[in-house]
Amino acid sequence: MFNLWAAAPLFGEPRCSCENQRQAWRHVLQTIVRIKGLRWLIASGLVLAVAGVPAAEQADRAVAAVKQLVATGALPAGAALRLTVKQGNLASFLGENEQLKADWERATGTEIDARIMPQLASRAFIQDDDTVDLTIARSNETPDLVSEGLIMPLSPLIERFGFVLPDTPPDGFVHVRQQALFNGQVVAIPADGDAALLFLRRDMMEDPAQQASFLARFGRTLAPPRTWAEYQDLVAFFDRPAEGFYGALEPRDTLTGWMYWMPRFLAHAQVGQHLFDEAMRPTIDSPEGIAATESYLATLAHSPAGVLKQGNDYSFTLPLFLSGKGFSTIITVAAAKLANTRTSPVYGKVMAVPMPGRVVAGQTVPHPTLIYGNNLVIPARAKHKTLAFLFAMWLTDPDISARSVGVAGGFTDPYRYHHFDDPRIRAVYGEAFLDAAKAQLPYVAPAGTGLPGDAAYLEALSENLSVAAHGRQSAAAAMHNTARQWEAITEQRGRRAQVAHWQRYRAALPASASPRLAPVH
């Protein structure tokens, strides 16, 4: 058994000497031989591409490739790359005062035509708009996007231009497997490490009077929660609805509810238990799934009434938390940029801690998952696919990406290891917040089901969670109904094909849905 999420570098070792390269290559081969489920990677050609090319000059090579394309006439001089991203990430992609955009345009002689896309999932948008060369999609969306032919696989371009996706420190990508791969192909380039993180009111946690009161009531020290049960105690303890102060400010709307259910499922699941079993029968209506749902519903008693309203996602809960009206919230580390501004009412009063999980042999195992995430994808109908790829390669270069993530007005989260240690980025986020996010990196699980039809599966789950949250069905009924609907979706899409997908995906998952529970060799 091995730990997949913390495995040896499969995607290349940056800045290595020839000897180191040989060692890395040997190590890669050994690892692949040991990992039965990953042998398909050999076919993808990625490893070959990775082993031979250092990543230090990633940005320079991208620029040189664009110039060569222009010189050979393959790309018209002055071509415009149509980049479409969300408003909150625009500054990260274009840089402080659009400096990154200017640098790219000056270096390549091409232009960037940047536009804004809706703040929703990308599937419908990519379907409707054929004027996009490069855009972003959430991690869980890629199986649908690929299987419906909406985005192109990137492996051929990766091989052609010698791009590498290292997944180890010092400057590798933190979630390559969770964000970039589908069916043995690289289909997206990670550009935002959006993992769920728990934010608490530090001033209340450190208040001696609260600590004494908590100890008297619960018989244990007031401390960040290790499990969801402890979390529930905390939100109940600090809940003051009559004063307009709420224990839990987790979003519970229909579109994003599943994101806050998944970490609970992982925390309650048994070793080896995933959303489906080996034959792809849903396991979410098991006692563990129902317990996770009950945990999901339990916070509602300590949340504001509007939290169930359609569309009230983090845009409803996060402002309340940042206004000092709640004890806890769950969101990505991007929120730290807001809490870390001196004008914020909660400046200096907030702490971030790893997500609750479980305690195994005295050790705390957090269970975060990716939630939103902004991976770079190239629509199949893009006009300048190669240019789009080269821009993505340039933007995610170790140095360029550090500048991108460090932009104060952008909300792209650190997605390469060295981002967490970069002084510019640490100053913008606040050191303690980044350290908390870094601490849970080895445990971050992928978002969604990993299957074609993911949108339909998650929609059924979210809808049933919503009905339960409104008190119109029990947690058990919600899970039973979801399991039944999931079976119908599987039948509708073709059970055989879905099972094949699931087994491939499952092979790439660790033995447990909780990575650190598997013995590490």
Partner 1 sequence: MRLRPSHAGITLRTRLLISLVMVCAVVLALLGMAGLISTQATDRAQAVLDAQIQPLVLLHGLKTRLHRIRESEVKLALTEDFFAAFSRHERLVAERKNFGEALAVLCNAPSATPAHVLERVEALWTQYDEALAALGQPVMEMRMEEVARIATYETANRFAALSSALDRVAEETRLAAKASFEDAALRQHRQWRILKLIAALGTLAFVLWVMWLWRALFGRLLALNTAATEMATEGRAELDVTGRDELSAVALAFNAMQARIQARESALRDAQSELETRVLLRTSELYDVNTRLLREADERQRAEQQLALLSKAVEQSPVGIVITDTGGVVRYVNPAMEVVSGGSQGVAVGRLAGVFDPAMNSPVRVSEMLRRLEAGADWDGELEVGRPDGSRYWAHVSLSPVVEHTGDTTHYLVLSEDISLRKAQEAQILHRAHHDALTDLPNRVLAMDRLNQALLHAERHAGRAALLFIDMDNFKVVNDRFGHEMGDALLVNAGQRIRGLLRAGDTVARHGGDEFLIILDDVGGADVAASVAEGVRQAFAAPFDVGGNEVFVTLSIGAALYPDDGVSASVLLRNADLAMYQAKEAGRNSWRFFESRLHEATQARVEIETCLRGALERGEFRLVYQPVGDTASGRIFGAEALIRWDSPVLGAVAPDRFIEIAERTGLVVPIGDWVLETACRQAAQWQREFDPGFHIAINVSPRQFRADDFVSRVAQVLAQQGVAPHTLMIEVTEGLLLHDHDEVLKAFEALIAVGARLAMDDFGTGYASLRYLKHFPFHTVKIDREFVRDIGNDPDDRVLVDTAIRMGKSLGLSVIAEGVETADQLAILRGFDCDLIQGYYFSKPLSAEGLHAVLAKALVAPQHLINPA
Binding site for partner 1 (CB under 8 A): 86-88, 90-91, 119, 241-242, 308-311, 314-316, 318-320, 322-323, 334, 338, 344, 408-411, 470, 472
* 303 touches 245 (CB < 8 A): no
Min separation Cβ 189 and partner 1, Å: 21
- Name the residue nearer to partner 1 (CB basis): 117 or 176: 117
Task: Respond yes or no on whether the N-terminal peptide bond of residue 54 is cis (omega within 30° of 0).
Answer: no
* 151 touches 127 (CB < 8 A): no
Residue 380 contacts by C-beta under 8 Å, 6 or more apart in sequence? 149, 150, 151, 152
- Name the residue nearer to partner 1 (CB basis): 343 or 363: 343
- Name the residue nearer to partner 1 (CB basis): 137 or 508: 137
Min separation Cβ 13 and partner 1, Å: 35
Specify which residues 182 forms β-bridges with. Answer: 185
- Name the residue nearer to partner 1 (CB basis): 176 or 320: 320
Burial 185-194 (b: 16+ CB within 10 A, else e): bbbbbbbbbb
Name the phi and psi angles at 238, rounded to 5: -95, 0
Min separation Cβ 89 and partner 1, Å: 8
Residue (of 241, 281, 288, 233) closest to 261 by Cα position:
288
Burial 243-276 (b: 16+ CB within 10 A, else e): eebbbbbbbbbbbbbbbbbbbbbbbbbeeebbbb
Min separation Cβ 81 and partner 1, Å: 21
User: Cα separation of 390 and 385, whole Å?
Assistant: 9
Min separation Cβ 334 and partner 1, Å: 7
- Name the residue nearer to partner 1 (CB basis): 338 or 499: 338
Amino acid letter at 496?
Answer: R
Min separation Cβ 242 and partner 1, Å: 4
Count Cβ atoms below 10 Å from residue 470 Cβ, excluding itself: 12
Residue 490 is given by DSSP the state H
User: Cα separation of 15 and 170, whole Å?
Assistant: 10
Min separation Cβ 407 and partner 1, Å: 10
* 475 touches 468 (CB < 8 A): yes
- Name the residue nearer to partner 1 (CB basis): 4 or 322: 322
Angle, CA 333 vertex, CA 444 and CA 321 arms, to 5°: 125
- Name the residue nearer to partner 1 (CB basis): 38 or 320: 320
- Name the residue nearer to partner 1 (CB basis): 93 or 231: 93
- Name the residue nearer to partner 1 (CB basis): 423 or 471: 471
Min separation Cβ 340 and partner 1, Å: 13
Tokens of 81: 């790359």
Min separation Cβ 417 and partner 1, Å: 24
- Name the residue nearer to partner 1 (CB basis): 371 or 509: 371
Secondary structure of 410-453 in HEC code, one letter for each residue: CCCCCCEHHHHHCHHHHHHHCHHHHHHHHHCHHHCECCCCCCCC
Min separation Cβ 516 and partner 1, Å: 31
Count Cβ atoms below 10 Å from residue 220 Cβ, excluding itself: 10
